[in-house]
Amino acid sequence: MSAGRITIRDVATAAGVSRQTVSNALIHPERLKGPTLERVQAVIQELGYRPSSAAQSLRSQRTGAVGFELLAYGESNRNEVAYPFTVALGEMAIGHGCHLVTFSSAGAQSLTEGYADMVRAQVVDAFVIADTHPGDPRPDWLHQAGVPYAAFGRVWGRPDITSWADVDGAAGLADVTEHLLAAGYERIGYLGWPRGSSVGDDRRSGWEHTLLAYGRAPGPEAACEQDLRAATTAAYGLLDEVGRGGAIACASDLLAVGVERAARDRGWRPGTDIGITGVDDSGMAGMFDLTTLAQPLTAIADYLLGLVHKRLEGGPAPESGALFRPTLVPRASSRPGH
């Protein structure tokens, strides 16, 4: 009837009941008698009524929104995971009845200023944070401020903080290594990052332990920065060591592209003459037809939103962080037949 948006009053008037009855029809349908419920629901449907989330937020002191900081990396390998993860969060948010508010801290004075602002202005109830790293001030701050949050990536140096989920890189590289063994590649080398990076060391251990478990001496390995030129250079040496018929498992898709380049320079066909695998299932892996590991981003997003949801309900923190196993994406670069 009224010119503006349809409110609960409009529905109540149209259905000949009170505001509260309409509210109950949506939240506590069991409180209404059959005929009344049906009538109210019909009017809601007909008018296309949706409760105003602004009014609900004011009343309940909950916004139903989760904040997520988008980091401006520039580095492609990070974008490749960050974007699909953001999409996954958006998709899973629907199932958790919340929205995703993305923001950027670029230009802020401190790394936590953006977070503090959104909490004080009551824009979000909780946060999901990504790319935690040793010395990251955000977990500490959020913890101290009593703001519920969950992290994609282990929270380093704080074993008491368990609201995180991460990819089980070791398990992933174990799968990759077994896959390469099963495919019949002779020697299986590894191209990783310099020691000391926790993510890198984790992945490397999956390769090493699997070879040992199969009674193989851990084959040749090399390390270089996340850079195409460096990877290509490092790959030349590794190719010599594993030889034709061998394989090289890499810590990332980018490194795998470097190996692919070096192999082609040498006239070796990926898959046939040399097995190559990467990690992340980034766009590059698809383009270059590289076997890789797909991160379980949807499952992680779902888990993290579930965590913050539970914390908002006053539930306890989980006993420990959660690891999710990536899934192998076999492509031509590890198919000896072809």
Binding residues for DNA, rule: CB under 7 A, are 4-5, 7-9, 16-21, 23-24, 26-27, 31-33, 35-37, 49-52, 54-56, 58-61
Q: Which of residues 118-147 bind a second copy (CB under 8 A)?
A: 118, 120-123
Site for a second copy in 220-239 (CB under 8 A): 227-229
State which of residues 13, 23, 90, 323 lies at the interface with a second copy (CB under 8 A): 90
Is residue 143 classed exposed, middle or buried when 0-12, 13-18 and 19+ CB atoms within 10 A define those classes? middle
From DNA, a second copy, none, interface partner of 104 (C-beta below 5 to 8 A by class): a second copy
Identify the residue among 157, 184, 286, 330 touching a second copy (CB under 8 A): 286
Contacting residue, 12, 25, 44, 63, with a second copy by CB under 8 A: 63
Distance of closest approach, residue 89 Cβ to DNA, in angstroms:
24
CA distance 203 to 193: 10
| Cα 66 from Cα 113, distance rounded (Å) | 16
CA-based end-to-end distance of the chain? 69
264 binds, among a second copy, DNA, none (CB under 5 to 8 A by kind): a second copy
Minimum distance, C-beta of residue 75 to a second copy, in the bound complex (Å): 7
Structure tokens at 135: 């010395």
Contacts of 240 (CB under 8 A, 6+ apart): none
Of 321, 264, 314, which Cα lies nearest the Cα of 290? 264
DSSP letters spanning 112-157: THHHHHHHHTTS-SEEEEE---TT-HHHHHHHHHT--EEEES--TT
The only residue of 18, 20, 52, 327 in contact with a second copy, by rule CB under 8 A: 52
Looking up tokens 């974007």 gives 83
> Which residues bind to a second copy, rule: CB under 8 A?
4-5, 48-55, 57-58, 61, 63, 65, 70-72, 75-77, 79-80, 82-84, 86-87, 90-91, 93-94, 99-104, 106-107, 117-118, 120-123, 227-229, 254, 257, 261, 264-265, 282-284, 286-289
